[in-house]
Structure 1
Amino acid sequence: MFTKHTVYKHDNYNMLTVEVQGKTLVVREISDQWGEVCHKFISRPEMMNWAENRFRAEDFPGGEDQYKQVMNTIRSI
């Protein structure tokens, strides 16, 4: 059984979800610019490293507060 977590969802075209599939973490980025991009990680530290390198506070409409919330949500998975 897979567990799906919604990290953020601005609308139906801009969202980030994480599926826990046993030991594998599948991150799906959906954006109106790039469509759906799927990333697979075999550990949480690997996923966190990707997230820390991928996102910046200016990427989010809510700025620094929303960035911190997204990173905390990813950490808690």
Structure 2
Amino acid sequence: MIKKHVIYKKDKWNMITVEVQGKYIVLREISDQWGEECHTFLSRPALMNWVNNRFPKSEYTDNLEEWHELMTAFKQV
């Protein structure tokens, strides 16, 4: 059974989805700049490590609410 989580979706070209496929966590990041990137993780701690590197809190000093929303969405995976 695959469980899909939409982390954010600004439009059809800017979104992140996460699918839990058995023991794998597959993250798809689609952006209008880079196209689609796919990352596969074997554990939630590995996913969260990637998330903390990809979305450092220091880059969201002007918008901490958005950062908290992202972290909450990832933690619910």
TM-score clears 0.5: yes
Identity of aligned residues (%): 52
Q: Deviations over 1:31-74 (max 9, x none)?
A: 00000000000000000000001113547xx8221111011110
| Structure 1 unaligned regions, length at least 5 | none
Cα-Cα RMSD? 1.5
1:29 alignment counterpart: 29
How many residues end up aligned between the 2 structures?
Answer: 75
1:41 alignment counterpart: 41
**Per the alignment, in what secondary structure is the counterpart of residue 15 of structure 1?**
strand
Which consecutive segments of 4 or more residues in structure 1 shift more than 4 A? Answer: none
2:11 alignment counterpart: 11
- TM-score (norm. length: structure 1): 0.89
For 1:15, give the aligned amino acid. Answer: M
For 1:7, give the aligned amino acid. Answer: I
- TM-score (norm. length: structure 2): 0.89
2:50 alignment counterpart: 50
